[in-house]
DNA sequence: GTTCATCTTAATGGATACATTAATGTATTT
DNA sequence: AAATACATTAATGTATCCATTAAGATGAAC
């Protein structure tokens, strides 16, 4: 990656802090406070916050600081509608342009994902999931779609993170189904079946969304009906 | 809009400078130089540049400054592929959620557009075109899609600007067809025909793209075949 | 007791001085 | 003549100081 500036460092650190649950949604992130925590001056922190606001991770309130946009079901609907269609597009595009090496890379990711799942390694699982989705975004060979996908992926991750923590078991049921869906998507891309790849990806994201807002105790039932997708 | 910060001012000014052709693609935009031109310190200029880089308008080179990404036909293809599909989505979404007031607003914009065209006012025409496309993006009621649309719209405008200046006549031929296409799109939105609205928007963007890269002297022929779209 | 005005405070916004760094040019050595 | 090392320069990167501003608190007037 880029030459780890202090700004870059601040940027990554702030994301890490949020993902490590150091801030609840609604908390204010203050330049001064963060600068002290990260042992930097306000300047790089300020740039990093500006970037995060620009990317839509944070909201800015006039003289109150930046805050994590409070998750609402309405916002989640928008996030996943956008993600479903954007990733559908990248999958379509990836199916058209993917090289042999790309397919190998994706299959390797799927292997790692499988391993992470059987060893109950949530951290690794989360990483491979990111590699999968953003990998396909990259393989679309369209830097604009890729950028938007990265953005909406991270935004949706905030939901997955918060809701997962509250509702799911050590291994959530959707995690048992996701790998199969991933495999089917890679197969479609390998066959260069653009339409199928796009459609499968849309269904996959839609499934993820549906599972997020389904209480655990009724998920089993819900999943049976999802088979008909 | 927001309380015109100096940063906001710098941001808009830099865009204006680019659109006024003060910089050729490939030129370096330097913090110090811009700060002098705009009579500001480097701080707001720096933030504005950072924002523009984040939005993909500018590229950053290590110690050389920021530059306008050099337009290539490959990049244009990506830009318009993304724009076609994104705006297709917002049009679909807008058709689902548009209120009576929204429709009135769109029709008002179309009136202004017509006026700008018959008076050969390029500046007004460009403004109303922006109002139309970004208005529909807003009416999608999806802040994420709206954000991405704004972004890709501006990016595509760089192409329209540069190519338009070199190749077109006082009134370019596609400008004579665009208003009709706009009207059809608004009609579909007014009828809440989501699929039709999306499809018409995709065709419209595709048409714009096709016209951009068609030399003027063969446009007349090309347009006849486009009628079959 | 309530309301309005003003004062305080705590935060960001902006300017500037200083540090760092990458590129380039130059001189010296082989 | 070429190559390498060092110095210069021109840009960004960083820290800090001062300005501004909005929110909240406090107090006085009605």
- Give the mean pLDDT of B117-127: 84
- With tokens 């292997």, the residue in question is A111
Write down the H helix ranges in chain B.
6-19, 31-38, 42-54, 73-97, 100-118, 122-139, 143-167, 173-190, 194-212, 219-226
* pLDDT for B217: 52
- Distances B211 to B107, B125, B129, B149 between C-alpha atoms, Å: 25, 17, 16, 21
Q: Is the pLDDT of residue A78 over 80?
A: yes
Answer yes or no: do A50 and B50 touch at CB < 8 A: yes
Sign of CA dihedral A14, A16, A22, A24: positive
Closest by CA position to B205, among listed B100, B98, B84, B105: B84
At A35-59, the pLDDT tens digits run 999 999 999 999 999 999 988 888 8
Across chain A, mean pLDDT equals 86
Least confident of A126-140, B32-46, B128-142, B154-168: B154-168
- Give the mean pLDDT of A2-8: 74
Q: Is the pLDDT of residue A218 over 80?
A: no
* pLDDT for A19: 76
Q: What band does B48 get if pLDDT is binned at 50, 70 and 90? A: very high
CB B133 within 8 A of CB B185: no
- Give the mean pLDDT of B200-205: 97
Between A49 and B55, the more confident residue is A49
Sign of CA dihedral A190, B206, B85, A135: positive
Protein-to-nucleotide distance from the CA of A35 to the C1' of D18, whole angstroms: 19
* Cα separation, B68 vs B19, whole angstroms: 11
* pLDDT for A146: 95
Q: Which of 26-65 (B) contact A at CB < 8 A?
A: 47, 50-51, 54-56
Q: Is the pLDDT of residue B76 over 50?
A: yes
Encoded tokens for B124: 């007004």
Q: Is the pLDDT of residue A14 over 80?
A: yes
At B163-199, the pLDDT tens digits run 765 445 555 666 678 889 999 999 999 999 999 999 9
Measured N-to-C along each axis, helices A73-97 and A173-190 cross at an angle, to the nearest 10 degrees, of: 30
Q: Is the pLDDT of residue A222 over 60?
A: no
Q: Taking CB atoms and an 8 Å cutoff, what residues of chain A touch B144?
A: 56, 78-79, 82, 151-152, 155
> Closest chain A residue to B78 measured between Cα atoms?
A142
A-to-B residue pairs, Cβ atoms closer than 8 angstroms: 58
Coil/strand/helix, residue B58: strand
Q: Is the pLDDT of residue A220 over 70?
A: no
* pLDDT for A216: 56
- Give the mean pLDDT of B143-149: 94
* pLDDT for A176: 73
Answer yes or no: do A56 and B144 touch at CB < 8 A: yes
Least confident of A167-176, B47-56, B177-186: A167-176
Q: What band does B160 get if pLDDT is binned at 50, 70 and 90? A: confident
Q: Which of 72-101 (A) contact B at CB < 8 A?
A: 78-79, 81-82, 85-86, 89, 93
CB B59 within 8 A of CB B69: yes
Encoded tokens for A16: 């890490």
Q: Is the pLDDT of residue A224 over 70?
A: no
| B128 Cβ contact list (under 8 Å, min separation 6) | B109, B112, B113, B116
* pLDDT for A2: 43
Full strand arrangement of the beta sheet holding A28-29: A28-29, A65-68, A58-61
Phi-psi domain of A172 (left: phi exceeds 0; alpha: psi -120 through 50; beta: other): beta
HSE of A120, CA atoms in CB hemisphere, 13 A: 4
Between A60 and B83, the more confident residue is B83
Q: What band does A1 get if pLDDT is binned at 50, 70 and 90? A: very low
Answer yes or no: do B78 and A144 touch at CB < 8 A: yes
Q: Is A22 on the interface with B (CB under 8 A)?
A: no
Closest by CA position to A153, among listed A134, A167, A169, A136: A134
Domains and CATH numbers, chain B: 6-68 (1.10.10.10), 73-226 (1.20.120.530)
Across chain B, mean pLDDT equals 86
Least confident of A68-77, A156-165, B122-131, B207-216: A156-165
């Amino acid at each position: 990656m880029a030459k780890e500036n202090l700004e870059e460092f601040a940027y990554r650190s702030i994301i890490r802090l949020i993902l490590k649950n150091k801030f609840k949604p609604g908390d204010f992130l203050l330049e001064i406070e963060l600068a002290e925590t990260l042992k930097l001056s306000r300047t790089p922190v300020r740039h990093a916050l500006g970037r995060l606001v620009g990317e839509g991770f944070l909201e800015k309130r006039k003289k109150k600081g930046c805050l994590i946009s409070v998750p609402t079901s309405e916002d989640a609907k928008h996030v996943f509608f956008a993600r479903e269609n954007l990733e559908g597009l990248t999958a379509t595009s990836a199916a058209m342009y993917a090289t042999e090496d790309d397919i190998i890379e994706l299959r390797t990711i799927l292997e790692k994902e499988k391993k992470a799942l059987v060893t109950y390694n949530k951290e690794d699982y989360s990483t491979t999931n990111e590699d999968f989705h953003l990998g396909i975004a990259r393989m679309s060979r369209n830097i604009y779609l890729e950028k938007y996908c990265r953005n909406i992926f991270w935004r949706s991750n905030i939901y997955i993170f918060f809701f997962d923590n509250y509702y799911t078991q050590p291994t959530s049921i959707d995690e048992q189904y996701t790998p199969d869906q991933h495999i089917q998507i890679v197969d479609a891309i390998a066959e260069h079946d653009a339409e199928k790849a796009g459609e499968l990806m849309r269904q996959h994201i839609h499934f993820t969304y549906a599972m997020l807002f389904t209480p655990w105790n009724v998920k089993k039932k819900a999943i049976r009906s999802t088979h008909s997708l």
